[in-house]
A and B are shown apart, each in its own frame.
Chain A
Amino acid sequence: MAVAIAAGWAWRPSRGLGQAALLLLRRPGARGLATSHSHRQQQQQFSSPGDKPQFPGASAEFIDRLEFIQPNVISGIPIYRVMDRQGQIINPSEDPHLPQEKVLKLYKSMTLLNTMDRILYESQRQGRISFYMTNYGEEGTHVGSAAALDNTDLVFGQYREAGVLMYRDYPLELFMAQCYGNVNDLGKGRQMPVHYGCKERHFVTISSPLATQIPQAVGAAYAAKRANANRVVICYFGEGAASEGDAHAGFNFAATLECPIIFFCRNNGYAISTPTSEQYRGDGIAARGPGYGIMSIRVDGNDVFAVYNATKEARRRAVAENQPFLIEAMTYRIGHHSTSDDSSAYRSVDEVSYWDKQDHPISRLRHYLQNRGWWDEEQEKAWRKQSRKKVMEAFEQAERKPKPNPSLLFSDVYQEMPAQLRKQQESLARHLQTYGEHYPMDHFEK
C-alpha cells in the first residue's frame, strides 16, 4: 500500500529509498481521507479516545518513542538514467524506441542551439548585443522535455530554456531579433536579450525576476483543467530559483488545487557563483516534492532519453489525474552564468572541462546515433558547417535591421493608451525634433 510505504520511509532514520525512483504518495482524495471541507468525516465515534489520532491536520499513528526524522542526504533520491555516457541503453525495457527522425531532431536542435549560443556570446563580447546567456551543458534538459510534450502545452520558463523554443522550430531570425531588439522582435525591443516569448508556440515571455513564473504556471494549469483543454503546463526553473518563496507557493497551490502541471527543475550546480551546498541543505529539489504531496523524480538531465521518458509519463498522468509532477533534472552549467560573469572566479577550469568532455548531453546522444548507424563523421562535419552557415546568415540579417520606432516605447502599458501617456509620447516626438542629433536616430525605424 502506497501509504504504508510512505510512512515506512518517513520513519526509518538514515536509510536510502531503495529502488523506487518515484515516491508514491497518493492524493488525499484517493486515500479516502477528509479533504479541506469535511473534517467532520474524519472524526469517528469517541468511544475509544486513546486509540487513533483524530487530528484534522495529519493522517498518522501515535508513537511512544522520541525520535527525530533524519533527513537523508548521504544517499538521496536516485537518478533515473536510460543511457550511459557512451550512449548505450542500460535497461532495454526503458528504451523509448524513438524513431530516427525524432532522435535526429533532438540532436539537431541541441547542436543548432549550441552553435547559436557560441555566435551570440561572441557577438556580445564584440559589443553587438548588450547581454547574452548560453545554455551549454543543459541542452538535453530542454529538448528531452520539449519532445515529450504536445506542441500546444504551455511553457513557462526562467531564462535558460532556449532549447525548448528551438525544438518547437522557433526561427533563428526571431531569436536574433529579440537579442538585437530589432524591428522583427515580437517583444518590440522592450527587454534584454534572451527574454524570448512566442504566443504561437505557447512559450510565455521570459521575465527576469526568478521563480515568479512558478505560481503563474499553476494558475494557467488550473485554467486548463477547468477548460478541459487536455493540456499540461510545464514550468522550468533552476535549483537556485527553487529557494524563492514563489516556488514554495507554486508547489503548495498545485498540490492543493490539483493542477495538471509539470515542475521541471534544472539543477545545474550553480546559481551564478553560489554552489548547491550554499543553496540548500536537504536532498535537492526532488525531495521537497513529497513534502507537498507531489509525485517526484530525479533524472539524469544529460540523458535526453531519461528526460524524455520522465516528462512523457509525467505529462500523461498530470493530465489524466489532475495532479502535479516534479522532475529534478541533474545537469551541469558548463558556461558562465551570463556575459556579465566570469566563472573562473569561483570554480576550476578542470571542473568545467570534466563535464564538457566526459558528460555532455550532445556527445552522449551522438554516441547513441553513431552506435545505431544513424549518424557519422561526415554527416557531423556537414551539419556543423550547415548549422553555422544558418546561424551566421540569421545573425547578419539581424545586425542590419533597424530598431523599432521610438514611439513603441509607449504602447502596450495598458491595452489602451491613457491620455497622459499619449501626451508623453507627443512630448518625446517634439523633443526629438529639436534635440534629435543627440540621439541614435539612425538605428531606429522612422
Chain B
Amino acid sequence: MNLFQSITSALDNSLAKDPTAVIFGEDVAFGGVFRCTVGLRDKYGKDRVFNTPLCEQGIVGFGIGIAVTGATAIAEIQFADYIFPAFDQIVNEAAKYRYRSGDLFNCGSLTIRAPWGCVGHGALYHSQSPEAFFAHCPGIKVVVPRSPFQAKGLLLSCIEDKNPCIFFEPKILYRAAVEQVPVEPYNIPLSQAEVIQEGSDITLVAWGTQVHVVREVASMAKEKLGVSCEVIDLRTILPWDVDTVCKEECFLNLEAPISRVCGYDTPFPHIFEPFYIPDKWKCYDALRKMINY
C-alpha cells in the first residue's frame, strides 16, 4: 500500500471495530483531496463519513464535542497549514479538558489528522510542518509517521489512545512511499522513538519525511567519511521519548554541540524550495562539521 492507502486501511479498521467512530472534515465524503477516505462513506454510511462546512475551528470544536460524549471522532484538517484557526480549540480546550475538569470530562477519543510537510511546490500554505507549535502543549499527543507501515500502526494507536491526538501525514509520501502493510489492524506504540539504524559515532534524529533524508546522509557518511551513524525516528513529538534519544546522559558525553538542520527562519517559499529545505547535502555538511569539531 502507499501512504494514503495505509491511512484508508487504518480508518476502515477503526470504523469496522468501533460503531461510534465517525470521520468528518472538508471534502472527506467523496474520498478526500488526498484520497485518504475513498470508499468509506459508501461502506459505513453518510452519518459516519461526512463533510463539514469549511471551518477548521468548527471541525475541531465539533470533534471535541463528539469525543466528550465518549464517541470516537476522527477529524481531518485539509492541510496542516490550515490548522491555526483551530489552535484555540486544540490548545485551550482539547488539551486541557481532562485536567481542568478534574477528570470528570475528557475528549480522549478525538484524533485530528492533517497532511503535513513540503511537497515540492506547496509554498507558504501547502508545505508547513507546524508540530513545533503544539510541542509544548501538555494534554495532547503529536505524531508524525515516516512510512505507510508506520502510519497505519501509529494512526490506529492515536485513534485508540485515550488522549486527544494530532496525526500529521507527510503528503509528499502519500503516493511516493509504498511498502507491505497488513490489512488487519495493528498498533505501533506512541511516545516510543525507533532506532532504525545502529551506529557509534553520531546520532541523527528526525521524523516524517526527513527520516529518509538522514538515512541517506548516514550512508553518505559511511561511504565518504567512514563515520558510523545512529538514526532515530522520533515518531511521537509529544510526549517524546527522552530516554531513547538521550540514552547516554547527553551533556557531559557530547563531543560536539548538538546541531539542528532545518528550514530557514522565513515562511516556506515557492520557487526557492530546493534551497530552503534541509536536504541531504546540508545534513551531510553539518555531520561533517560535527565530526571535525
Residues of A within 8 A of B103 (CB): 188, 411-412
The complex places the Cα of A412 from the Cα of B179 at a distance, in Å, of 38
The complex places the Cα of A327 from the Cα of B102 at a distance, in Å, of 31
From B30, which residue of chain A is reached at the shortest CB distance? A37
Query: Given A216-B93, A415-B162, do A420 and B100 touch, yes or no (CB 8 Å)?
Result: no
Of the listed stretches A74-82, A242-250, A277-285, name the one at the interface; the rest are far from the partner chain: A242-250
Q: Once the chains bind, are B98 and A413 in contact (CB under 8 Å)?
A: yes
Partner of B61, one of A198, A219, A416: A219
| Residue with the greatest number of chain A CB neighbours at <10 A, chosen from B104, B108, B242 | B104
Of the listed stretches B63-71, B169-177, B212-220, name the one at the interface; the rest are far from the partner chain: B63-71
Q: Does A16 contact B (CB under 8 A)?
A: no
The complex places the Cα of A207 from the Cα of B145 at a distance, in Å, of 33
Q: Once the chains bind, are A219 and B99 in contact (CB under 8 Å)?
A: no
0 or 1 for each of B35-76: is its CB under 8 Å from A? (1 = yes): 000000000001100111101011011111111111101000
Residues of A within 8 A of B138 (CB): 413-414, 421
Interface of B, secondary structure class, is: mixed
Q: Does A253 contact B (CB under 8 A)?
A: yes
Query: Given A205-B105, A412-B99, do A218 and B62 touch, yes or no (CB 8 Å)?
Result: yes
Q: Does A215 contact B (CB under 8 A)?
A: yes
Residues of B within 8 A of A212 (CB): 61, 88-89, 92-93
Query: Given A207-B92, A216-B93, do A223 and B101 touch, yes or no (CB 8 Å)?
Result: no
The complex places the Cα of A88 from the Cα of B87 at a distance, in Å, of 50
The complex places the Cα of A220 from the Cα of B63 at a distance, in Å, of 8
Q: Once the chains bind, are A253 and B55 in contact (CB under 8 Å)?
A: yes
Residues of A within 8 A of B66 (CB): 219-220, 222-223
The complex places the Cα of A222 from the Cα of B47 at a distance, in Å, of 9
Partner of B22, one of A190, A226, A415: A226
| Residue with the greatest number of chain B CB neighbours at <10 A, chosen from A223, A226, A416 | A223
Residues of B within 8 A of A218 (CB): 58, 61-62, 65
0 or 1 for each of B102-114: is its CB under 8 Å from A? (1 = yes): 1111101000000
From A404, which residue of chain B is reached at the shortest CB distance? B102
The complex places the Cα of A218 from the Cα of B70 at a distance, in Å, of 14
Tell me which residues from 190 to 213 in chain B have a Cβ below 8 Å from any Cβ of chain A.
191
The complex places the Cα of A191 from the Cα of B105 at a distance, in Å, of 14
Q: Once the chains bind, are A414 and B57 in contact (CB under 8 Å)?
A: no
Partner of B62, one of A188, A226, A248, A253: A253
The complex places the Cα of A412 from the Cα of B104 at a distance, in Å, of 10
The complex places the Cα of A419 from the Cα of B192 at a distance, in Å, of 12
0 or 1 for each of A211-234: is its CB under 8 Å from B? (1 = yes): 010111111111110110000000
Q: Does A154 contact B (CB under 8 A)?
A: yes
Q: Once the chains bind, are A414 and B47 in contact (CB under 8 Å)?
A: no
Query: Given A154-B69, A219-B65, A223-B69, do A209 and B93 touch, yes or no (CB 8 Å)?
Result: yes
Q: Once the chains bind, are A215 and B57 in contact (CB under 8 Å)?
A: yes
Residues of B within 8 A of A222 (CB): 22, 62, 65-66
The complex places the Cα of A25 from the Cα of B169 at a distance, in Å, of 42
The complex places the Cα of A119 from the Cα of B30 at a distance, in Å, of 58
The complex places the Cα of A249 from the Cα of B26 at a distance, in Å, of 14
From B104, which residue of chain A is reached at the shortest CB distance? A199
Tell me which residues from 174 to 224 in chain A have a Cβ below 8 Å from any Cβ of chain B.
185-191, 195, 197-199, 204-205, 207, 209, 212, 214-224
Partner of B139, one of A197, A214, A252, A414: A414
The complex places the Cα of A416 from the Cα of B98 at a distance, in Å, of 11
Interface residues on B, range: 35 or more
Q: Once the chains bind, are B92 and A197 in contact (CB under 8 Å)?
A: no
Total interface residues on A, CB under 8 Å, equals 52
Residues of A within 8 A of B242 (CB): 419-420
Q: Does B6 contact A (CB under 8 A)?
A: no
Q: Once the chains bind, are B92 and A185 in contact (CB under 8 Å)?
A: no
Partner of B71, one of A190, A227, A415: A227
Residues of B within 8 A of A415 (CB): 98, 106, 108, 162-163
The complex places the Cα of A253 from the Cα of B66 at a distance, in Å, of 13
Q: Once the chains bind, are B96 and A207 in contact (CB under 8 Å)?
A: yes
Residues of B within 8 A of A421 (CB): 138
Q: Does B239 contact A (CB under 8 A)?
A: yes
Q: Once the chains bind, are B52 and A226 in contact (CB under 8 Å)?
A: no
Q: Once the chains bind, are A223 and B65 in contact (CB under 8 Å)?
A: yes
Query: Given A186-B104, A252-B55, A420-B239, do A215 and B61 touch, yes or no (CB 8 Å)?
Result: yes
Q: Does B232 contact A (CB under 8 A)?
A: no
Cβ distance A33 to chain B, nearest Cβ, rounded Å: 17
| Residue with the greatest number of chain A CB neighbours at <10 A, chosen from B71, B102, B105 | B102
From B243, which residue of chain A is reached at the shortest CB distance? A419
Q: Does A69 contact B (CB under 8 A)?
A: no
Q: Does B29 contact A (CB under 8 A)?
A: yes
Cβ distance A319 to chain B, nearest Cβ, rounded Å: 15
The complex places the Cα of A198 from the Cα of B101 at a distance, in Å, of 9
Cβ distance A193 to chain B, nearest Cβ, rounded Å: 13
From A258, which residue of chain B is reached at the shortest CB distance? B47
From A252, which residue of chain B is reached at the shortest CB distance? B53
The complex places the Cα of A90 from the Cα of B275 at a distance, in Å, of 76
Residues of A within 8 A of B104 (CB): 186-187, 197-199, 205
Q: Once the chains bind, are B191 and A216 in contact (CB under 8 Å)?
A: no
Residues of B within 8 A of A246 (CB): 57-58, 61, 88-89
Q: Could you list 5 further interchain pairs (A-B, Cβ under 8 angstroms) beyond the known A197-B101, A414-B98? A: A215-B89, A216-B65, A218-B62, A226-B71, A252-B53
Interface on B for A, CB 8 Å cutoff? 20, 22, 29, 46-47, 50-53, 55, 57-58, 60-71, 73, 85, 88-89, 92-93, 96-106, 108, 138-139, 141, 162-163, 191, 239, 242-243
**19 contacts across the A-B interface (CB closer than 8 A):** A187-B104, A190-B101, A195-B100, A197-B101, A199-B104, A209-B88, A215-B58, A216-B62, A216-B65, A217-B65, A218-B58, A218-B65, A219-B63, A219-B68, A246-B57, A246-B58, A249-B57, A257-B50, A420-B242
Interface on A for B, CB 8 Å cutoff? 36-37, 154, 156, 185-191, 195, 197-199, 204-205, 207, 209, 212, 214-224, 226-227, 245-246, 248-250, 252-253, 256-257, 411-416, 418-421
